[in-house]
Chain A
Amino acid sequence: MSIEIRHLQKRYGATIVCDDLSLDIRSGELVALLGPSGSGKTTLLRLIAGLEAPDAGSVAFHGEDDAGADPRAQRVGFVFQHYALFAHMTIFENVAFGLRVRPRATRPDEATIRRRVHELLALVQLDWLADRYPHQLSGGQRQRIALARALAVEPGVLLLDEPFGALDAKVRKELRRWLRRLHDEMHVTTVFVTHDQEEAMEVADRVVIMNRGRIEQAGSPDEVYDHPKTPFVLQFLGDVNLFHGRFGHAPGGAIEAGADGAHEEVSYVRPHELQILAAPAADTLPVTLSQVLTVGTQARIEFRRIDDGSYVDVEMPRSEFAALTARSGLGIGSRAWLKARRVTRFSASAAETAVDPAAMI
């Protein structure tokens, strides 16, 4: 089932949470709504689910069987951030709920319900928990039960709100892959909300990046990462170094820093796109090494610019950095030159709207 979102508006008091949102989600697609908290992504998901009523605009579902009377009653599965399992029901009854509340005419008989629930529990690999209560389950298990419960009504659209948000890192990683595989098997149109860019990039076919109630960019993970349309997208999808003026010159440096400032450019270079040179060359930035951190296999090297004293981060594999220090004798306080392999530029006026992503996560 495909989803057609047109000019959706929603405000709470004076705050606009969804500002004229339009988006098409194709049938069978796995889409991530990515953004910092307060960007309106959860509200958009709730609007799609019909849990909130929009102030203006529409959400339409188009499916193979378009004749159904109330599309939202049976065709949307929703997985809540904190699972929202029915605390007083067994796992079995939780999953069976969507079938049991059907009108008598369409309600399956007890044997069918039993079979269907066990199928779903087997699908989420938790068949052995059928008689337990939600409070007896771990977070990851609850999440999978919540998913099974949502799938029980055979939804055309599956919506997940921060599905892995409350889980620890390791479980989160496993569940992510599992969700991806599950989606590949079932081909249900799936939309999930996350503030974790890695999660969005790893799981989704398409990433929709939201900020302040608007869609900044929508595209495949590679597309948004390699060709960000706005400084916000660039900054949100990972660390980035920011240079005013053309790279290699001081801020307000000789080139193009016109008196009106409007023509000034801001250059963005990701830490792993910087190369460390031992000698000056064309288009390089003179720096001194100030700190080295190692995180797993990566080395994060912090340099201080000689011209204005600001810091620049460089990231490279640890082994590569070790080889470099062995070769050039680079140490704390050593002079080095940075060369960018790749620079992204936005005009300064656009950059003004960019927000420091670190402050927003």
Chain B
Amino acid sequence: MTAPSPPLASRTQEPAWVRRTLIGAALAFLGAFLLLPLAVVFAEALKKGLDVYLAAIAEPDALAALRLTLLAAGIAVPLNVAIGLAAAWSLAKFRFRGQNVLLTLIDLPFSVSPVIAGLIYVLLFGLQGWFGPWLKAHDLQVVFAVPGIVLATVFVTFPFVARELIPTMQAQGTEQEEAARVLGASGWQILRRVTLPNVRWALLYGVILCNARAMGEFGAVSVVSGHVRGVTNTLPLHIEILYNEYQSAAAFAVASLLALLALVTLAAKALVERRLERAPPVTDAAPERASSAGAAVAFDRTALAS
């Protein structure tokens, strides 16, 4: 090749039509399986007009479902960050007996079907469950109530943050922490000033994945929810109910709300990425514990603070 060629062409020897076919196939797949459904959601939601759309969203049950979803995610994500950090730290920075057992345990929620996860909580905290009588005696309700939904969400999302952090922390080793220690930093200072800033990207991705799953979780939550309208329905459950009642416009309207939350998450991620690239981070700031004010907002704040 004598003429200067674009980097893509110079990297491979494949003929142009092969490259175009492959790229085209990938784009077509992406369009058919990602973009089209998203477009359909909004199209279906607005089919009967903006009024029906707004009414479906403004309906008290829908708003309650939205609140519950944000609450569950708002509790699950910070919990995940805290527990995931602790687990990843102990697995990556120390050698101890039973390390592999812990690693397998962290993966457990991935390998167990969400429905089973939900059932476990029913069997544990339900009226006929192990702790049922005790809970009843103390007038506490876990299953078919908000605590059950939060518990199920926490269980299902458990591996996300830890799974993202472990490889990153392992790759970084312990040298920087040791350097900080020799320089006189305390354990807390090491965590805040050295370890956390170094894993901020992995943490951010873990939080994004965790948040997406927390808001979209259906199976486990469905089992423990009891489907009490306006009380224990999350957005995905609410959508199912509406759909089963042939209120497809309303179902899609609420679905668009959920899709919108996902898009906000994506946008926040892109924004954070760009900001972090443009201005190098302040050394002192470390991610703060996300508040439960709202999952998407909470994740955003966590990331920005780093």
Quote the shortest CB–CB distance from B86 to chain A (angstroms): 21
Q: Is B182 in contact with chain A by the CB < 8 A criterion? A: yes
- A51–B183 CB distance below 8 A: no
Interface class of chain B by DSSP:
helix
Give A126-174 interface residues, CB cut-off 8 Å to B.
Answer: 133, 149-150, 152-153
- A133–B175 CB distance below 8 A: no
- A84–B176 CB distance below 8 A: yes
- B184–A87 CB distance below 8 A: no
Number of A-B contacts (CB under 8 A): 64
- A89–B283 CB distance below 8 A: yes
Q: Is B141 in contact with chain A by the CB < 8 A criterion? A: no
Give B174-198 interface residues, CB cut-off 8 Å to A.
Answer: 175-176, 178-186, 189, 193-194, 197-198
Quote the shortest CB–CB distance from A171 to chain B (angstroms): 21
Cα of A256 to Cα of B200 in the assembled complex, Å: 72
Which residue of B176, B184, B194, B280 contacts A73 across the interface (Cβ within 8 Å)?
A: B184
What size tier do the contact residues of chain A reach?
Answer: 20 to 34
- B189–A88 CB distance below 8 A: no
Q: Chain A residues near B24: list those with CB within 8 A.
A: none
Q: Is A264 in contact with chain B by the CB < 8 A criterion? A: no
Q: Is A97 in contact with chain B by the CB < 8 A criterion? A: yes
The residue in chain B whose Cβ has the minimal distance to the Cβ of A96 is B283
30 of the cross-chain contacts (CB-CB < 8 Å) are A49-B182, A73-B184, A74-B184, A77-B182, A78-B178, A80-B175, A80-B178, A80-B179, A84-B175, A84-B179, A85-B176, A86-B179, A86-B180, A87-B198, A88-B200, A88-B280, A89-B283, A90-B283, A93-B283, A97-B183, A97-B185, A98-B183, A101-B183, A101-B184, A101-B185, A101-B189, A149-B179, A150-B183, A153-B183, A153-B184
Which residue of A78, A86, A89, A90 contacts B182 across the interface (Cβ within 8 Å)?
A: A78
Q: Is A82 in contact with chain B by the CB < 8 A criterion? A: yes
Q: Chain A residues near B189: list those with CB within 8 A.
A: 101
Cα of A84 to Cα of B181 in the assembled complex, Å: 12
Cα of A133 to Cα of B279 in the assembled complex, Å: 12
Q: Is A76 in contact with chain B by the CB < 8 A criterion? A: yes
Q: Is A102 in contact with chain B by the CB < 8 A criterion? A: yes
What size tier do the contact residues of chain B reach?
Answer: 20 to 34
Q: Chain B residues near A49: list those with CB within 8 A.
A: 182
Q: Chain B residues near A101: list those with CB within 8 A.
A: 180, 183-186, 189, 193
Interface centre among A73, A86, A90 (most CB of B within 10 A): A86
8 more A-B residue pairs beyond the given contacts A78-B178, A97-B185, with a C-beta to C-beta distance below 8 A:
A50-B182, A51-B181, A73-B184, A74-B184, A86-B194, A90-B283, A97-B180, A97-B183
Quote the shortest CB–CB distance from B95 to chain A (angstroms): 10
Q: Name B residues whose Cβ lies closer than 8 Å to a Cβ of A.
A: 175-176, 178-186, 189, 193-194, 197-198, 200, 280-281, 283
Q: Chain B residues near A82: list those with CB within 8 A.
A: 175
Q: Chain A residues near B176: list those with CB within 8 A.
A: 84-87
Quote the shortest CB–CB distance from A242 to chain B (angstroms): 40
Interface class of chain A by DSSP:
loop
The 9 closest A-B pairs by CB, nearest first: A98-B183, A84-B175, A101-B185, A84-B179, A78-B182, A88-B197, A89-B283, A93-B283, A101-B189
Interface centre among A51, A78, A88, A98 (most CB of B within 10 A): A88
Q: Chain A residues near B181: list those with CB within 8 A.
A: 51
- A51–B178 CB distance below 8 A: yes
Cα of A50 to Cα of B283 in the assembled complex, Å: 26
Q: Chain B residues near A84: list those with CB within 8 A.
A: 175-176, 178-179
Quote the shortest CB–CB distance from A76 to chain B (angstroms): 6
Give A298-352 interface residues, CB cut-off 8 Å to B.
Answer: none
The residue in chain B whose Cβ has the minimal distance to the Cβ of A133 is B280
Quote the shortest CB–CB distance from B224 to chain A (angstroms): 41
- B178–A88 CB distance below 8 A: no
Cα of A97 to Cα of B180 in the assembled complex, Å: 8
Q: Chain A residues near B182: list those with CB within 8 A.
A: 49-51, 76-78, 150
The residue in chain B whose Cβ has the minimal distance to the Cβ of A81 is B175
- A88–B283 CB distance below 8 A: yes
